[in-house]
Amino acid sequence: MSTTQFIDELAAGNASGAKDILNDMLSARAFEALEGRKIEIAQNIFNGSVQEEVENLSEQDVGNGYKMKMKHSDKGRIHAPSGEHVADVTKHESGWAYHSGNSKWDGSESSPHYKTGVEKTKSAAAKKAAEIHASN
């Protein structure tokens, strides 16, 4: 199912068909995300990093009610005051990158939900990601 089919059904006034297509698309996306997470967990179990991830979980306020939760030393998630995951920060050779964690982000750099930048510290990257989310 595709977005085009969904729009075509809506344009034709077929709400039931559009609902079915939307449900199929959401289910497929959720299944893909779950499969990816299962693979990630399985890989971490065999290299021993699952325990590290749990032990190093920390939370830091980044301003305006936004919080950064570090999964481990090189990855973190930004959460809005509502608790919604809105962005990620990741350590790179050139610094800390921030990018959209929004569920509307399809993973591509061409998506309007993709925001990125590199800051010297994870706190600066987290603050920038929170500012961008708050301004959208």
pLDDT the model gives residue 53: 44
* Residue among 17, 124, 1 at smallest CA distance from 63: 124
Per-residue pLDDT of 87-128, as tens digits, reads 888 888 888 888 876 566 555 666 655 667 788 888 888 888
Sign of CA dihedral 63, 64, 65, 69: negative
With a threshold of 0.75, does the pTM exceed it? no
105 dihedral zone (left: phi>0; alpha: psi -120 to 50; beta):
beta
What residues pair up with 85 in beta bridges, in sequence order?
79
Q: Give the pLDDT band of residue 56 (cuts 50, 70, 90).
A: very low
pLDDT the model gives residue 113: 57
